[in-house]
Amino acid sequence: MLDQLSSKLDAILKRLKIRGVLTEENITEALKEVRLALLEADVHYRVVKDFISGVKEKAVGQDVLKSLTPGQQVVKVVWDELRRLMGEKESPIRLNPNPPTVILLAGLYGAGKTTTAGKLGVHFKNQGKKVLLAAVDVHRPAAEEQLKRLGEQGGVDVQGLEGNSDPVFLCLRAMERGERQGYDLVILDTAGRLHVEEDLIQELQRVKEAVKPHEILLVADAMTGQDAVQIAEHFHGALGLSGVILTKMEGDGRGGAVLSLRAVSGAPVKYVGLGERLEQLEVFYPDRMASRVLGMGDVLSLIEKAQESFTQEQAVDLEKKLKSSSFTLGDFAEQMKQVRKLGSINDLLAMIPGGQRLQAKANTEDAEREIIRVEAIINSMTKRERLDHTIINGSRRKRIARGSGSSLQEINRLIKNFLEARRMMKVFSGKGKKRALARFLPSF
């Protein structure tokens, strides 16, 4: 995500950080490169002009140029301006104190609107809310079936068309059911078009007038860059958007939409979609996105993902097993499965400060394949073998190799790596962990 822009900005700012002294000329020259990088990333030209002007005004001040670390101060200024462009802080969904909260989703074909409706339903369901997804797209035949399938996958209730073709009636019926059956949220999945057309806008305006939704969210494809910004500007002018959900962010290497949208359209980004799975919807935090763009990682999001995947009870249980040497190959496989829920190796590296440089050096595709191979080997073991690796003799290793499509060398390497990992984890979880860490970490 945004890797092209991030790598360019990282290289430009790195040259500033290594300088002991900065002059106004140094900063001006660097900002010319930043300006070009932003324009190449499809950031709106007015946004680029405003951004460069804001950075230069603050960066050439005496507080920066005379500081002990002027390069670091410039990076802080750039981070502040990026955050300002994107809205400074998150813009959460406003839940109605008298449920249900009605959310109207609008957008064009292909932006991922119906999938986003399912993701939003799961997002709020995981917060303990009762959610109703309502199919209101009367123009695309497969939309209703898709929404029902997503609702079934996510365990969220869905109201279908049931033969009706009036979107206003369908929305009102969903609201009535929401009030009658005690739903916290009703999410309306409306129809889209290939282009912004007057009949689409008029249909949505009729729905808005009748329903008076608490939130009107545009679902836009981040990979379309300035097209997404222009679409948001058009919809905002016609409907008064309360926010935007940018989809397909995981494939957006440039960043034009996410950096321009708030400044140009006036509508804040509320969520970003980072994949096809129902759980791959994240609250948009401008400060965290600014950190990602500058290669600083996003440790807070990584911690939140880990907290979602690992409960406190699991952590305590794992520590007990490590201390008592009862950590098995089965536990090892389960931990790998939990880590994979956090995302791909590329996703995880992107959240670690300096992870972008690690991505460039590491062959993450090979690492992903190795994880899959290890899981296949452990899955080919019997339950008893996963509980007690010491019984895995020569004949058992041959059987496991045949079952997993691996070689004997790979089986031996896995068991060796497992024992080493168990030994290291036990050391770090025990009383001597400080001394152990001192042996493996560099001295400061």
Tokens of 359: 């991505």
Q: What is the pLDDT of residues 201-211, one digit of tens each?
A: 888 999 999 99
Q: Cα-flanking dihedrals φ and ψ of residue 220, to 5°? A: -130, 150
Question: Does one domain contain both 233 and 356?
Answer: no
φ, ψ of residue 207 to 5 degrees: the values are -65, -45
Give the range among 165-169, 314-318, 410-414 with minimum mean pLDDT.
314-318
Residue with tokens 């600014």: 290
Q: Per the structure, how many domains does the chain have?
A: 3
Domain boundary among 240, 259, 294: 294
In a domain, 96, yes or no: no
Contact (CB, 8 A) for 282 and 271: yes
Q: How confident is the model at residue 43 (pLDDT cuts 50, 70, 90)?
A: confident
pLDDT of residue 191: 87
Domain boundary, last residue among 59, 86, 113: 86
Q: Quick one: tokens of 269?
A: 């980004």
Q: What CATH number corresponds to the domain at position 395?
A: 1.10.260.30
In a 3-state reduction of DSSP, which class is residue 280? coil
Which run of H or of E encompasses 132? strand 131-135
- Select the more confidently predicted residue: 391 or 292: 391
In a domain, 106, yes or no: yes
Are 151 and 158 spatial neighbours (Cβ–Cβ below 8 Å)?
Answer: yes
Asked, for residue 272, whether it belongs to a domain, the answer is yes
pLDDT at residue number 425: 65
User: Which pLDDT value is given to residue 444?
Assistant: 33
The helix or strand, by DSSP H or E, that contains position 15, with its residue range, turns out to be helix 3-17
Higher pLDDT, 77 or 444: 77
Pair (311, 366) in one structural domain: yes
Q: Strands 269-273 and 281-283: what pairing?
A: antiparallel
pLDDT recorded at residue 350: 59
pLDDT, one tens digit per residue, over 66-80 is: 665 677 777 888 888
DSSP 268: P
Range of the structural domain that residue 82 is part of: 3-86
Residue 433 pLDDT exceeds 50: no
Residue 93 lies in a domain: no
For residues 136 and 226, state if they share a domain: yes
Q: Please tell me whether residues 45 and 182 are part of one structural domain.
A: no
| 434 has a pLDDT exceeding 50 | no
Residue 338 lies in a domain: yes
pLDDT on residue 128? 92
pLDDT digits (tens, 9 = 90+) for 336-364: 777 666 666 566 655 555 555 545 555 55
Boundary (domain end) residue, out of 262, 278, 294: 294
**Average pLDDT of span 12-33:** 80
Mean pLDDT of the chain: 81
Alpha carbons 302 and 284: distance in angstroms, whole number: 14
The pLDDT value given to residue 441: 41
Q: Are 216 and 241 in contact (CB under 8 A)?
A: yes
Record the tokens describing residue 212, joined without a space. 């008076």
Same domain for 132 and 76, yes or no, is no
pLDDT bucket at 436, cuts 50 / 70 / 90: very low
Q: How confident is the model at residue 226 (pLDDT cuts 50, 70, 90)?
A: confident
What is the pLDDT confidence band of residue 244, given thresholds at 50, 70 and 90? very high
What CATH number does residue 53 fall under?
Answer: 1.20.120.140
Asked whether residue 57 is domain-assigned, the answer is yes
Please report whether residue 217 resides in a domain. yes
> What single DSSP character describes residue 242?
S
Going by pLDDT thresholds of 50, 70 and 90, the confidence category of residue 133 is very high
Residue 256 resides in a domain: yes
